[in-house]
C-alpha cells in the first residue's frame, strides 16, 4: 500500500514546485494528474535550458523590488534580471601605452592640454591674432589684433584689443572687457564694455556679441555696440584656415562695420561704413608661433566714404603685410 501512495503523491509533489523546476519530460508521462497543464506558447517550454552561472544580482529587482513573474510566451524566463557579466566597468588604466613609443614628457603635456580643452578646469590663453607691418608706396602702417581669455569651459573673462597707425601716429585703437558664457560646444555669448582710445572724440559702448566656429570650421564673430551717445552699430568678422600642408596655412579674413546712425565727429556715416579684406600665408614654426606674409585691403563705403572725400582722405588702401601670429 505504501508504494502505491508514494507513486500517487510523486506527481503532486513535483507539480507544486516553481515553474523553472518542473521535470523536463513531464508532458510525456501517462496516467491521471492533479491538474491539467495547458500547452505553453513558447516552443522551448518544457525543455530544460543549459545551466547558467549564478547571477550576483538574482533575486533583486530595480530598487530592491522582487523580479516580475514570468508571463506567457517567455518560456519560464524572469524578465528584468541582468545576466551575468554586467558588472561595473573597470577603472581607467594607470599606465599609458603611448609612452612606450613617444617621449613621456611630451605625452604628459598632450594629456594636460586635452584636460584643459575638454574638462571644466581653469585655464588662460593669450592669442595674438595679427601683429604686422603694412607696406605701400604712400608710407608704412602697422596694426595689431589679439585677445586674452581666463576661466573655464563655461564661464570666462575675455579681454580684446585692436588698432592701427601710420607714420608713427596712432589712428585708431579699442579695448574690450567681456564676460563669456558657452552656448554649446562651438559658440560663446559675450557681454561687456568697449572703449575707443584714439586721437579725437572717445566713445564707450555696451557690447553684446557671439563668437565661435561655424560648420566647415569657419571662425565667425558678430557684435552689437551701443555707445554712450545712443549710437547703435555692429561688426561682422570671419576667417578660415586652409591647410596647404601641416605647417603652411592660407587664411582669408573679412570684416565689415555697420551703423544705424552717423557719428560725424569721428568721420563715420550710417549704413555699411567700411570693409577689410585680407589674405595671409603663414608658416607654423611651432603650433604657437607662425610668421606670415599677405595682402590687406581696406575700403570705406557709403556715407563714410563721402565724409572721407570731404576731408581730403582716401577711401581705399591696399598694402603688403608682414607679421606674426602667436599664442601662449
- Per-residue pLDDT tens digits for 207-218: 999 999 999 999
The number of CA neighbours under 13 Å toward the Cβ of 197 is 6
**Cα–Cα–Cα angle for 41, 42, 47, rounded to 5 degrees:** 125
- DSSP class of residue 311? T
- Do residues 257 and 234 lie in contact, with contact meaning Cβ atoms separated by under 8 Å? yes
Residue 127 has φ and ψ, to the nearest 5°, of -120, 115
The number of CA neighbours under 13 Å toward the Cβ of 313 is 14
Mean pLDDT taken over the chain = 80
Q: From residue 20, how far is each of 55, 69, 116, 148 by CA, in Å? A: 16, 12, 55, 69
**Cα–Cα–Cα angle for 62, 64, 68, rounded to 5 degrees:** 60
- Do residues 172 and 164 lie in contact, with contact meaning Cβ atoms separated by under 8 Å? yes
Task: Check whether 28 has a pLDDT greater than 60.
Answer: no
pTM over 0.85: no
Query: Average pLDDT in the 275-295 region?
Result: 97
Cell numbers given for 5: 501512495
Query: How does pLDDT run across 44-65, given as a tens digit for each residue?
Result: 444 444 444 444 444 444 444 4
- Do residues 244 and 238 lie in contact, with contact meaning Cβ atoms separated by under 8 Å? no
Residue 114 pLDDT level (bands cut at 50, 70, 90)? confident
Higher pLDDT, 115 or 288: 288
Interatomic CA distance for residues 156 and 119, integer angstroms: 14
Residue 61, SS3 per DSSP: coil
Query: Average pLDDT in the 171-181 region?
Result: 96
Amino acid at each position: 500500500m505504501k508504494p502505491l501512495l508514494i507513486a500517487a503523491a510523486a506527481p503532486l509533489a513535483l507539480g507544486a514546485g516553481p515553474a523553472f523546476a518542473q521535470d523536463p519530460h513531464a508532458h510525456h508521462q501517462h496516467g491521471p494528474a492533479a491538474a491539467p497543464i495547458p500547452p505553453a506558447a513558447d516552443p522551448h517550454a518544457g525543455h530544460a535550458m543549459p545551466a547558467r552561472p549564478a547571477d550576483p544580482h538574482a533575486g533583486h529587482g530595480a530598487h530592491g523590488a522582487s523580479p516580475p513573474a514570468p508571463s506567457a510566451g517567455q518560456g519560464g524566463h524572469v524578465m528584468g534580471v541582468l545576466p551575468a557579466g554586467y558588472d561595473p566597468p573597470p577603472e581607467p588604466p594607470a599606465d599609458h601605452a603611448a609612452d612606450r613609443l613617444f617621449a613621456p614628457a611630451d605625452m604628459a603635456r598632450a594629456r594636460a592640454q586635452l584636460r584643459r580643452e575638454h574638462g571644466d578646469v581653469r585655464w588662460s590663453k593669450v592669442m595674438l591674432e595679427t601683429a604686422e607691418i603694412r607696406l605701400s608706396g604712400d608710407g608704412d602702417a602697422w596694426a595689431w589684433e589679439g585677445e586674452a581669455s581666463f576661466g573655464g569651459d563655461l564661464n570666462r573673462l575675455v579681454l580684446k584689443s585692436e588698432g592701427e597707425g601710420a607714420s608713427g601716429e596712432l589712428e585708431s585703437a579699442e579695448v574690450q572687457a567681456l564676460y563669456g558664457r558657452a552656448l554649446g560646444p562651438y559658440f560663446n555669448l559675450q557681454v561687456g564694455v568697449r572703449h575707443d582710445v584714439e586721437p579725437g572724440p572717445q566713445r564707450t559702448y555696451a557690447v553684446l556679441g557671439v563668437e565661435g566656429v561655424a560648420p566647415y570650421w569657419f571662425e565667425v564673430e558678430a557684435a552689437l555696440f551701443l555707445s554712450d551717445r545712443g549710437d547703435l552699430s555692429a561688426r561682422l568678422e570671419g576667417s578660415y584656415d586652409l591647410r596647404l600642408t601641416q605647417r603652411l596655412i592660407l587664411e582669408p579674413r573679412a570684416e565689415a562695420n555697420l551703423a544705424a546712425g552717423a557719428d560725424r565727429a569721428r568721420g563715420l556715416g550710417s549704413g555699411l561704413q567700411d570693409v577689410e579684406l585680407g589674405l595671409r600665408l603663414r608658416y607654423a614654426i611651432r603650433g604657437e608661433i607662425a610668421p606670415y606674409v599677405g595682402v590687406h585691403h581696406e575700403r570705406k563705403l557709403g556715407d563714410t566714404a563721402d565724409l572721407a572725400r570731404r576731408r581730403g582722405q582716401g577711401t581705399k588702401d591696399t598694402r603688403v603685410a608682414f607679421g606674426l601670429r602667436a599664442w601662449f
